[in-house]
Chains A and B, each alone.
Chain A
């Protein structure tokens, strides 16, 4: 039956970001309500109606921040609270349906933006996405320097799952897995430190505002390096999660 097959036969495509369009800070030119030219940020200066946050507005812009990887958390939070007070549906109960819809959409976007920027890793992934297209390709094979180790670890996990947990062998395998988990977590922390240095390099480069060929090459090198470490880190993180679930 074709109907039956369709029930399961679909797949999810990943979000497609046409990275070019993100770069253009295209301001909405007109207020949706009074059609006057927009000069205010989120509210029309003439009729004071709330304006939808444009799809082209990236999260950094939304918070009035430059595209940097080091962010002052308390400033970010203060801005989040300020914008929440501006957009939250609680304050639009007496407004028109159009304004309520805009408030709901804006608040949802704001919440996603805050969640993304608040976390250094998500922030970096998002920036990479903006600067160089999606990084969300999930790594299915281990990074080359980890290949042997991961293969061995997977065998140990298999053996442990099959073993009698209470037996001597079970205890030994468990101890082995715990040691491996610690090693992987150390590695993850190393990668995070490495990332931190790259973040600083990125910010320094951006602050210089150099548009020369050398700076561009440096920019691309940094982005590629960050992307590699981020994807390796995600891989290691998933393995650690697996390990934790196995050890229980």
Chain B
């Protein structure tokens, strides 16, 4: 069976891992870094992803997308409150957010697909084989639309998504593999954009999730924003300038806030500095860990209510928890660790790198699916109750939250008026009483033969598969005929849209190639300039002044081409420089030969 990789598609960083000799390991890029920043930039030469794209955050903020995970499976109304924080423009079409990048608009799954492709290529380069199958992780508290959007992203990236698995449970697999632990564990997963808590029971290789809870809009991003807001305020008060009007400075501010936050995890104070738009003055201040903690305390407190809820749903108290595991970059904050330790009265674990543990777990799950690991089995749950809207706009629960998946439920439907030929069904997800307060997942129409009221009996089966994704089937109990149900997602791409996006992604691939060529050409041009200058410093005395001048001119021409966006021009100037520098290298070789021959007889040389 073809290899399956494990992918952690994160809010701020993404990683790909695979199983090597029974051990999961993360695949590094050429630079040696394992994390790919989840950033996509539209440049004049096409799309770029990861570290190079991150540089565009301040250079072209309106065309550089970050934290796209926050928009997966959501409508514009869901993110209304945070629109001001994003420098790129968002619209909505068919219940799906669209992100405007230059001339074109992209759905969040398309943007995520670009990140997935980058990971796919990274894995292919490392493993020397084509990668087409993957396990992708999602926050445990992701609803059906968000999971479906993640699966769509995989498809668009040319990956068959064999399983969507929950991030905290993935982490538990990585820990379980290492420790062969038994007992009840709590996984506290505080990432870049989402928070999850999962309570699991580990016994003889079975990882049974007892309860899960969380908030898909609570993460390190929110901490950064809080610090940025604090600085924004002070800059406004002290320098009478509102950075909100300067998207590039806002990005710089956000990045500086993030940097300060990270620095304060290991240090008690840090210096924060921001260049101001006037180009001459700068704002700077000292930020202490105490000040940071005081300003973000309420955000961290917000993670504790879901923890208590999950404990309650599992029928447990903090004393019943044997081990607590920390996952996600935000758990590096000493204050977070402190609060978690207080809640569970236990020293939490973070032996496995919290940035990598989810990807490692995804690789373990991939190995289970490919038949490599056979002694471990994950039994996960659905995080939210599934229901249907009944008369009076009330939600009637069909599958309760924290039910082990796969889970199925059957409901019988009949008609209310004579001759009625259809029944409209509205599927919901959530814990609230009223339909309107819950998440609308989809609508579909049951076809019913025209009969007196109450006579038709249509049985609808709701099945939540092992990915936590809903499937619906219907059959007429009188005739035994099953009918296909065309479910129209409330917040998702239709199948035909996904197909079109897959086609489009081949076109993007072309543009990607252009962008890649440019990056490579720039790198090589840089290397050539460096070596030429080194040679000049050693050998300029060996060549004629006019040759020297032409080499210098060629170096300058290449340096300016390198700043441009045309890979062909760069290649051409590189060839020019190589040509111009030939006399120099010839002279240097002659020189070294001459020196090595000094003091030797002619007969010895021939």
* Segment of A3-11, A24-32, A153-161, A216-224 engaged in the interface with chain B: A3-11
**Bound Cα distance from A13 to B415, whole angstroms:** 10
* Interface contact B413-A13, CB-CB below 8 Å: yes
Given contacts A13-B413, A15-B412, A104-B463, contact A111 B407 (CB under 8 A): yes
A7 to nearest B CB, angstroms?
5
Given contacts A104-B463, A109-B408, contact A10 B423 (CB under 8 A): yes
**Bound Cα distance from A94 to B423, whole angstroms:** 38
B394-421 toward A: CB 8 Å interface, digit per residue (1/0)?
Answer: 0010000001111111111111110011
Please indicate the chain B residues that have their CB under 8 angstroms from the CB of A16 in the complex: 412
Please indicate the chain B residues that have their CB under 8 angstroms from the CB of A108 in the complex: 406-408, 463
Please indicate the chain A residues that have their CB under 8 angstroms from the CB of B377 in the complex: 84-85, 88, 90-91
Please indicate the chain B residues that have their CB under 8 angstroms from the CB of A85 in the complex: 206, 377
Instruction: Tell me if B203 counts as interface (CB < 8 A to partner A).
Output: yes
Please indicate the chain B residues that have their CB under 8 angstroms from the CB of A5 in the complex: 417
Please indicate the chain B residues that have their CB under 8 angstroms from the CB of A11 in the complex: 390-391, 413-414, 416
Instruction: Tell me if B604 counts as interface (CB < 8 A to partner A).
Output: no
**Bound Cα distance from A11 to B414, whole angstroms:** 6
Please indicate the chain A residues that have their CB under 8 angstroms from the CB of B412 in the complex: 12-16
Of B368, B370, B406, the residue contacting A111 (CB under 8 A) is B406
Which residue on B lies nearest to A8, using beta carbons?
Answer: B391
Of B368, B417, B420, B424, the residue contacting A90 (CB under 8 A) is B368
A9 to nearest B CB, angstroms?
4
Of A9, A88, A104, the residue contacting B379 (CB under 8 A) is A88
Of B206, B424, B463, the residue contacting A81 (CB under 8 A) is B206
Interface hits, B377-398 → A, CB 8 Å: 377-379, 388, 390-391, 396
**Bound Cα distance from A91 to B370, whole angstroms:** 8
**Bound Cα distance from A91 to B373, whole angstroms:** 10
**Bound Cα distance from A9 to B414, whole angstroms:** 10
Instruction: Tell me if B544 counts as interface (CB < 8 A to partner A).
Output: no
Instruction: Tell me if A89 counts as interface (CB < 8 A to partner B).
Output: yes
**Bound Cα distance from A107 to B424, whole angstroms:** 29
**Bound Cα distance from A11 to B369, whole angstroms:** 41
Given contacts A81-B206, A90-B377, A94-B371, contact A111 B416 (CB under 8 A): no
Please indicate the chain A residues that have their CB under 8 angstroms from the CB of B409 in the complex: 112
Of A7, A93, A112, the residue contacting B424 (CB under 8 A) is A7
* Interface contact A107-B420, CB-CB below 8 Å: no
Instruction: Tell me if A115 counts as interface (CB < 8 A to partner B).
Output: yes
B residues contacting the other copy or chain, number (CB 8 A):
45
**Bound Cα distance from A108 to B206, whole angstroms:** 17
* Interface contact A81-B403, CB-CB below 8 Å: no
* Interface contact A111-B369, CB-CB below 8 Å: no
* Interface contact A81-B406, CB-CB below 8 Å: no
Instruction: Tell me if A114 counts as interface (CB < 8 A to partner B).
Output: yes
* Interface contact B414-A13, CB-CB below 8 Å: yes
Which residue on A lies nearest to B421, using beta carbons?
Answer: A6
**Bound Cα distance from A104 to B420, whole angstroms:** 34
Given contacts A6-B417, A88-B377, A90-B368, contact A15 B410 (CB under 8 A): yes
Which residue on B lies nearest to A111, using beta carbons?
Answer: B404
Instruction: Tell me if B1 counts as interface (CB < 8 A to partner A).
Output: yes
* Interface contact A112-B457, CB-CB below 8 Å: no
A102-120 toward B: CB 8 Å interface, digit per residue (1/0)?
Answer: 0011011101101100000
Which residue on B lies nearest to A9, using beta carbons?
Answer: B416
Instruction: Tell me if B422 counts as interface (CB < 8 A to partner A).
Output: yes
Instruction: Tell me if B204 counts as interface (CB < 8 A to partner A).
Output: yes
Please indicate the chain A residues that have their CB under 8 angstroms from the CB of B396 in the complex: 12
Please indicate the chain B residues that have their CB under 8 angstroms from the CB of A91 in the complex: 371, 374, 377
Please indicate the chain B residues that have their CB under 8 angstroms from the CB of A6 in the complex: 417, 420-424
**Bound Cα distance from A13 to B448, whole angstroms:** 15
* Interface contact B404-A104, CB-CB below 8 Å: no
* Interface contact A12-B411, CB-CB below 8 Å: yes
* Interface contact B206-A111, CB-CB below 8 Å: no
Given contacts A6-B422, A112-B407, contact A12 B1 (CB under 8 A): no
Which residue on B lies nearest to A245, using beta carbons?
Answer: B433
**Bound Cα distance from A15 to B457, whole angstroms:** 11
Please indicate the chain B residues that have their CB under 8 angstroms from the CB of A115 in the complex: 403-404
**Bound Cα distance from A7 to B421, whole angstroms:** 11
Given contacts A84-B379, A108-B463, contact A93 B371 (CB under 8 A): yes
* Interface contact B466-A89, CB-CB below 8 Å: yes
**Bound Cα distance from A213 to B1, whole angstroms:** 62
**Bound Cα distance from A111 to B424, whole angstroms:** 29
A172 to nearest B CB, angstroms?
28
Instruction: Tell me if B465 counts as interface (CB < 8 A to partner A).
Output: yes
Of A13, A84, A109, the residue contacting B206 (CB under 8 A) is A84
A241 to nearest B CB, angstroms?
11
* Interface contact B369-A10, CB-CB below 8 Å: no
**Bound Cα distance from A85 to B377, whole angstroms:** 7
Which residue on B lies nearest to A103, using beta carbons?
Answer: B406
Instruction: Tell me if B304 counts as interface (CB < 8 A to partner A).
Output: no
Please indicate the chain B residues that have their CB under 8 angstroms from the CB of A9 in the complex: 391, 415-417, 420
* Interface contact B422-A90, CB-CB below 8 Å: no
Instruction: Tell me if B162 counts as interface (CB < 8 A to partner A).
Output: yes
**Bound Cα distance from A5 to B408, whole angstroms:** 29
**Bound Cα distance from A84 to B207, whole angstroms:** 11
Please indicate the chain A residues that have their CB under 8 angstroms from the CB of B463 in the complex: 104, 108
Interface hits, B155-209 → A, CB 8 Å: 162-163, 203-204, 206, 208
Given contacts A104-B463, A107-B406, A111-B403, contact A10 B379 (CB under 8 A): no
**Bound Cα distance from A6 to B453, whole angstroms:** 12
Which residue on A lies nearest to B463, using beta carbons?
Answer: A108
Please indicate the chain A residues that have their CB under 8 angstroms from the CB of B378 in the complex: 90
Interface hits, A115-171 → B, CB 8 Å: 115
Given contacts A6-B422, A10-B413, A104-B463, contact A90 B206 (CB under 8 A): no
B228 to nearest A CB, angstroms?
36
**Bound Cα distance from A16 to B368, whole angstroms:** 39
Which residue on A lies nearest to B396, using beta carbons?
Answer: A12
B165 to nearest A CB, angstroms?
10
* Interface contact B204-A81, CB-CB below 8 Å: yes
Beyond the given pairs A15-B410, A88-B466, 14 more chain A to chain B contacts, judged by CB atoms under 8 angstroms and listed by A's residue number, are: A11-B390, A12-B396, A15-B412, A16-B412, A89-B406, A89-B465, A94-B1, A94-B371, A108-B406, A108-B408, A111-B403, A111-B407, A112-B407, A112-B409
Between-chain CB contacts (< 8 Å), 17 pairs: A6-B420, A6-B423, A9-B416, A9-B417, A10-B414, A10-B415, A12-B411, A13-B457, A81-B204, A89-B406, A90-B163, A93-B162, A94-B1, A104-B465, A108-B407, A111-B405, A111-B406
Q: In the A-B complex, list the 7 residue pairs whose CB atoms are closest, starting with the nearest.
A: A9-B416, A108-B408, A13-B412, A108-B406, A10-B423, A111-B404, A93-B369
